[in-house]
Amino acid sequence: MPGSAETVLQDLRKAVMDGQYAQLAVLMPALQDVEADFRSGDLVTLRSLQAEAERTEACLQSALSGVRAARRRVVEVAEAAKGLTTYDRVGHKATVPTVTPTSRRV
């Protein structure tokens, strides 16, 4: 288990950047274990922790944004597989189903 809050934050950011999201379940309790480092310490240490926390936060926000974008894309692909969505002259939505080819070119 990492020893300092700064090390835990660095490990947390590295896990997110490497896509090792399962590692977050281990690191979050470790971060809580070193929470006392945030309450005690000199100004230089606290500023260093703040800078590390801000870098980690930015990385987590970016990862979350990426996950949201991926989820939206999965929905779009699933919708596209259902068929083409169009609108008639009156503005009513209509879906033109995708046609599965009856024969295959060899």
pTM, two decimal places: 0.66
Provide the residue count of the chain: 106
DSSP annotation of 62: H
Output the six-digit token pair for 53: 């926390």
Predicted pLDDT of residue 1: 45
Residue pLDDT, tens place only, 27-82: 989 888 888 777 777 888 888 888 999 999 999 999 999 999 999 999 988 888 87
Predicted pLDDT of residue 106: 66
How far apart are the C-alpha atoms of 20 and 105, rounded to whole Å? 43
Residue 84, pLDDT above cutoff 50: yes
